[in-house]
């Protein structure tokens, strides 16, 4: 029983079975026990075991099954001044380093990148993507990053790596000379340049940047909106045909809505057609061939575009303490024929001094001219 008690004070099996996917380094807890010379050390694929003795880096074990002896712990033997065949327990900290790949880590620019675009001039861009890392040198990683942290997760290093990536991406995009509209076709080449620039820095940490992807490079929302408008103009194509189509739609909507919609559609259609004609003529002028040599007669100048149609006067009607309208003259003509609008109806239009009876307004008297006066009283 005494032998079993003494044996229980020593660790003879050392392994790490933690299946957490975000742990880079885990310290083997001894719980006050010593490590027995001849103990079994298991290092699985994707792991490395690092021995720290009295604060100094000692031996590093790659994947395999080991029986701890002086012949396979040369650094520990030198630090302890062990003679050959030493078989007593010893104290040492053991750290397991996860050397597998950690994929799907995200990076992105918090602030826009300022650069000179060869097509748009000064512009701001945002970029984001993903990357993957792994521990390439466990000893260096322990010295430079981990220290004595016994449960080191990826969250403790990804922020620093993300800053390094963003800094390098900003420099690469700003100095690439590639137009913003062409960067989507060059993301692989840009990613390779960024990765090559970051590798030396991560090597100092014992890390390897396995892969890096630039997944998207975007313009500011206001610039994208203008770009969409420019694209829409290219899709429209023949502006005259598009104007005819828009006018037909406006007339159909007006016929379905009637009243105020008809007047608004008429005014909008007239102004839209006038503007469309002016734009079409301007674009046609831009597409004209270069001027002929002086000996040839210059082509005749295009006639100026017609002025927009005059704005029609509309009228408001007061009935029973309420205001209705506005109504164009054509609709008032219909209302006269229906008997809902008379010479005694109070009306008002823009610029008129107060309400007046329709029969007193010069512009409306012509509407009543074609209508017979009220019949004389009966009898």
Tens-digit pLDDT string for the chain (379 aa): 334 444 445 678 899 988 888 999 999 886 655 788 888 999 999 999 999 888 888 999 999 999 988 888 888 888 877 765 666 778 888 999 999 999 999 999 988 899 898 888 888 999 999 999 999 999 999 999 998 888 899 999 999 999 999 999 999 998 888 988 898 899 999 999 999 999 999 999 999 999 999 999 988 888 888 877 777 777 666 666 667 767 777 777 776 665 555 555 555 555 555 555 655 565 555 555 555 555 565 566 667 777 666 677 887 888 887 888 888 888 888 888 888 888 888 888 887 888 888 888 877 777 777 666 666 676 5
Q: Output the pLDDT for position 15.
A: 92
Q: Are residues 91 and 124 in the same domain?
A: no
CATH of the domain at 343: 3.30.1490.40
Q: Output the pLDDT for position 105.
A: 94
> If we measure between CA atoms, which residue out of 100, 70, 95 comes closest to residue 83?
70
The interaxial angle of helices 239-257 and 260-286, nearest 10 deg, is 180
Q: Output the pLDDT for position 50.
A: 94
- The CA–CA distances, whole Å, from 73 to 298, 356, 361 equal 96, 112, 113
Number of domains the chain contains? 4
Measure the CA–CA gap between 240 and 234, rounded to whole angstroms.
Answer: 14
Domain boundary among 44, 66, 98: 98
Q: Are residues 36 and 132 in the same domain?
A: no
Q: Are residues 326 and 355 in the same domain?
A: yes
Strands in 109-179 per DSSP E: 113-117, 121-135, 151-153
Q: Are residues 85 and 192 in the same domain?
A: no
Q: Output the pLDDT for position 350.
A: 81
Does residue 232 form part of some domain? no
Q: Are residues 158 and 73 in the same domain?
A: no
Q: Output the pLDDT for position 2.
A: 39
Q: How buried is residue 165: exposed, middle or buried, by Cβ count under 10 Å (0-12/13-18/19+)?
A: buried
Sign of the Cα torsion 248, 254, 257, 261 reads positive
* Cα atoms in the Cβ-side hemisphere of radius 13 Å centred on 191: 21
Does residue 165 form part of some domain? yes
DSSP state of 298: P
Q: Are residues 213 and 248 in the same domain?
A: no
Q: Output the pLDDT for position 242.
A: 64
> If we measure between CA atoms, which residue out of 185, 143, 108, 115 comes closest to residue 25?
143
Q: Are residues 108 and 39 in the same domain?
A: no
Measure the CA–CA gap between 239 and 277, rounded to whole angstroms.
Answer: 8
Q: Are residues 197 and 257 in the same domain?
A: no
Q: Output the pLDDT for position 235.
A: 67
Q: Are strands 356-357 and 346-348 parallel, antiparallel or unpaired?
A: antiparallel
| 38 dihedral zone (left: phi>0; alpha: psi -120 to 50; beta) | left
Count H helices and E strands in the chain, helices first.
10, 16
* Domain extent for 271: 237-280
Q: Output the pLDDT for position 201.
A: 92
């Amino acid at each position: 029983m005494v032998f079993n008690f003494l044996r229980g004070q020593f660790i003879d099996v050392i392994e790490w079975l933690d299946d957490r996917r975000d742990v880079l380094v885990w310290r083997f807890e001894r719980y006050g026990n010593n490590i027995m010379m001849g103990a079994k050390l298991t290092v699985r694929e994707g792991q490395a075991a690092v021995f720290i003795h009295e604060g100094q880096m000692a031996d590093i074990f790659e994947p395999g099954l080991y029986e701890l002896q002086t012949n396979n712990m040369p650094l520990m033997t030198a630090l302890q001044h062990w003679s050959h065949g030493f078989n007593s327990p010893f104290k040492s900290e053991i750290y397991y380093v996860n050397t597998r790949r950690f994929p799907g880590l995200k990076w992105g620019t918090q602030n826009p990148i300022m650069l000179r675009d060869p097509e748009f001039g000064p512009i701001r861009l945002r970029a984001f993507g993903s990357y993957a890392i792994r521990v390439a040198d466990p000893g260096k990683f322990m010295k430079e990053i981990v220290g004595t942290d016994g449960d080191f997760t990826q969250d403790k290093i990804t922020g620093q790596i993300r800053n390094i990536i963003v800094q390098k991406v900003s420099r690469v995009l700003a100095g690439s000379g590639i137009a913003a509209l062409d960067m989507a076709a060059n993301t692989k080449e840009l990613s390779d340049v960024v990765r090559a620039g970051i590798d030396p820095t991560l090597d100092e940490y014992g890390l390897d940047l396995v892969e890096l992807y630039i997944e998207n490079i975007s313009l500011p929302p206001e610039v994208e909106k203008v770009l969409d408008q420019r694209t829409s103009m290219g899709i429209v194509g023949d502006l005259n045909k598009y104007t005819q189509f828009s006018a037909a739609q406006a007339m159909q909507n007006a016929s379905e809505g009637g009243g105020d919609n008809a007047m608004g559609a008429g005014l909008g259609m007239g102004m839209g057609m006038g503007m469309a004609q002016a734009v079409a003529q301007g674009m046609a002028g831009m597409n004209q061939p270069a001027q002929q040599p002086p000996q040839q007669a210059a082509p005749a100048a295009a006639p100026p575009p017609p002025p927009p149609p005059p704005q029609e006067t509309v009228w408001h009607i007061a009935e029973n303490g309420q205001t209705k309208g506005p109504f164009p003259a054509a609709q008032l003509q219909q209302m006269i024929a229906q008997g809902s609008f008379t010479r005694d109806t109070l009306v008002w239009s823009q610029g008129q001094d107060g309400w007046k009876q329709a029969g007193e307004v010069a512009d409306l008297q012509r509407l009543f001219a074609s209508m017979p006066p009220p019949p004389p009283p009966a009898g």
